[in-house]
Amino acid sequence: MNEADFISALRALPLHPSARGLEDDCAVLELGSETLIITHDMMAEGTHFRADADMADVAWKLVATNLSDLAAKGAEPFGVLLGHSLGERDERFVEGLREVLSDYDVPLLGGDTIAATGPRSLGLTAIGKATHTPVPSRSGALAGDAIYVTGTLGAAMLGFEGAAEHLDAFNRPRPSLAEGQTLAPHVTAMMDVSDGLLLDAYRMATASNCTFDIASKYVPVADEARRAQCMRWGDDYELLFTAPEDAELPVLATKIGHVIAHDIAPLWLDGELISETDQLGYQH
């Protein structure tokens, strides 16, 4: 089973309403007057980080990717739970963990540690508190909305390929927590860009039962000569969101297209209808 098939099978299981039908990156759990935001991400050696990677960078990225999911919900982080597979250079992992948790003022709540053979797998659960309700989702985009993205895209994979000026973008991404909290009252839908802009836009349009019409010339990229790749590469952790056309946005963002009524496919790109996700971004 691939990732899509597996998630589809999970949807047949008993789901809590906070799971949002497994169509979002986080669970949204209402407890009294508070709304908790809960997310869990994993990283595997050989897929998400090299065997010779600095484990301090791996720890940073593990936390940052989870905090990015909270950012897309406009959440304030409360704490994290760590699932750690023991291995070489664990002292560097602890150092990186200390650095990222201190940088974002997020405490460690606990977790579990195991010893295992073979490539390492690491997991982290991040818990946050909503700063605005209703909490933004992937599924709220409306026909007539404009489509926006923060920052620039493609820098992380340029760093992965060795571009010195972009190494931090890959090794130590910075989740847009402040931007997400500021945007939450203004957006109709929002998610972070983790698997590539085009694939994530396709997913948001599908969840919203509408079609995204994107013009690639407006997409802010880190390398103009590789614009097509920058729109498909993952690991950027910028925010993709929709908002009413006349909205006055409180953060810097680039308009890259418009939401239209549901067409025969979820995505138009430069006048071409995109009905398959192959080659749109990173998929497991």
Kindly report, residue by residue over 108-143, the tens digit of the pLDDT: 999 999 998 888 999 999 999 999 999 999 999 999
Tokens matching residue 266: 């979820």
Query: Is the confidence at residue 71, as pLDDT, over 60?
Result: yes
The DSSP-derived string for 213-251 is EE-GGGS-BS-GGGHHHHTT-----PEEEEEETT---SS
Q: How is residue 40 written in tokens? A: 């869990």
DSSP-based three-state secondary structure for 259: strand
Closest CA to 138 of 9, 23, 279, 276: 23
Which tokens in the block code for residue 237?
Answer: 């952790």
Tokens at 61, concatenated:
């990225």
- Tell me if residue 132 falls in helix, strand or coil: coil
Count of C-beta atoms within a 10 Å radius of residue 215: 15
pLDDT tens column, 236-251: 999 999 999 999 999 9
**pLDDT tens, position by position, 194-227:** 999 999 999 999 999 999 999 999 999 999 999 9
In this prediction, residue 118 carries a pLDDT of 83
pLDDT digits (tens, 9 = 90+) for 133-175: 999 999 999 999 999 999 999 999 999 999 999 999 999 999 9
Question: Which residue from 252, 57, 246, 40 is spatially nearest to 156, judged by alpha carbons?
Answer: 57
User: What domains can you pick out in the chain, each with its CATH number?
Assistant: 3-130 (3.30.1330.10), 145-274 (3.90.650.10)
Cβ within 8 Å of residue 104, ≥6 positions away: 63, 67, 77, 175, 177
The answer to whether the beta carbons of residues 220 and 150 sit under 8 Å apart is no
